[in-house]
Amino acid sequence: MIKITIKDNLLYINDRINEAKTKSGRKDNVELIAVTKTVDVDIIKEAIAAGVTDIGENKVQELEKKIPLLGNSVNYHMIGYLQSNKVKYIINEVKLIHSLDRLSLAKEIDKRAKEHNMVVNTLLQINIAEEETKFGLKSSEVIPFIEEIQKFTNLRIKGLMTIAPFTDDKKLLRNVFKTMVNFKKDITIRKYENVSMDYLSMGMTNDYEIAVEEGANLIRIGTGIFGSRNY
Ligand SMILES: *Cc1c(COP(=O)(O)O)cnc(C)c1O
């Protein structure tokens, strides 16, 4: 039996990304975040040795456990629902918070950022398909939310994030990603003070090729790299 390694998986994914870029005529960069929830530190180290530069976790507790063990060998992304009372534990450890989805959280991030005399980079999470089971702003809430967060001086919105529905319906997935691109365009035109649309964080194991074809430049892959786990 041939053993498929993390390195093989990464090579395969990078090929698929490049193919999707070629197909859509893109020349800009697509960054890969390896989603390491429930993955042991030793396996994460193997992924880092194979070229992974950024990892994503969806629980503060897991980040707190892994950061001391991995140090600055990798960049950290908070990609899951973030409780306001846990912001203080990770605020100066993560490169990007992908899951800004409510004003109370923005307020807490801004407050803690001020304490650290820093500016915190976030992405607005949008629940494009408005699935009950998922977090994120509804489409109609996005612009009013951005207008509200203008008052926060130590928080920046660097782009948008979404989790597409888990489905084989390619047309539906493409529509979700196209809607994100439209949001990006619309928000860019409005030239908000502390908002820039540098990142579109979308695409997971099930749908990253379509996401890249449509314009994703941050993709978050877990299963495709580490195999399936019980989340
Ligand atoms: C788990 C998770 C991923 C990765 O999902 P896979 O299907 O395993 O690639 C991406 N983004 C978020 C927010 C996640 O929670």
Domains in the chain (CATH in brackets) are 6-225 (3.20.20.10)
pLDDT confidence band for 231 (50 / 70 / 90): low
Q: How high is the pLDDT of residue 137? A: 97
**pLDDT confidence band for 228 (50 / 70 / 90):** confident
Task: Say what percent of the chain tops pLDDT 70.
Answer: 98
Please check the confidence at residue 4 and state whether its pLDDT lies above 90.
no
Entry pTM: 0.96
- Distance in Å, CA 220 to ligand 1 centroid: 6
pLDDT at residue number 132: 87
Q: How far is the CA of 109 from the centre of ligand 1 (A)?
A: 23
Query: Is a pLDDT exceeding 80 seen at residue 2?
Result: no
Tell me the mean pLDDT in the region 40-57. Answer: 97
**Which two tokens mark 204?**
């997971």
Rounded Cα distance between 118 and 21, Å, is: 35
Average pLDDT on 84-104 reads 98
Q: How far is the CA of 204 from the centre of ligand 1 (A)?
A: 6
| Residue from 31, 35, 100 to probe ligand 1 pocket by mutation (most atoms less than 8 Å from CB) | 35
215 C-beta closer than 6 A to ligand 1: no
Q: Residue 229: which pLDDT band, with cuts at 50, 70 and 90? A: low
Determine the pLDDT at residue 3: 77
- Predicted confidence at residue 14, as pLDDT, reads 97
Q: Average model confidence (pLDDT) for the chain? A: 96
Q: Which atom of ligand 1 is nearest to the CA of 98?
A: 13
The string of pLDDT tens digits covering residues 154-203 is 999 999 999 999 999 999 999 999 999 999 999 999 999 999 999 999 99
Residue 138 has a pLDDT of 96
Pocket test for ligand 1, best of 9, 13, 79, 226 (most atoms within 8 A of CB): 79
- The finding on whether 203 has its CB within 6 A of some atom of ligand 1 is no
35 lines ligand 1 (CB under 6 A): yes
How many CA atoms are closer than 13 Å to the CA of 79, on its beta-carbon side?
Answer: 25
Confidence of residue 230 (pLDDT cuts 50, 70, 90): low
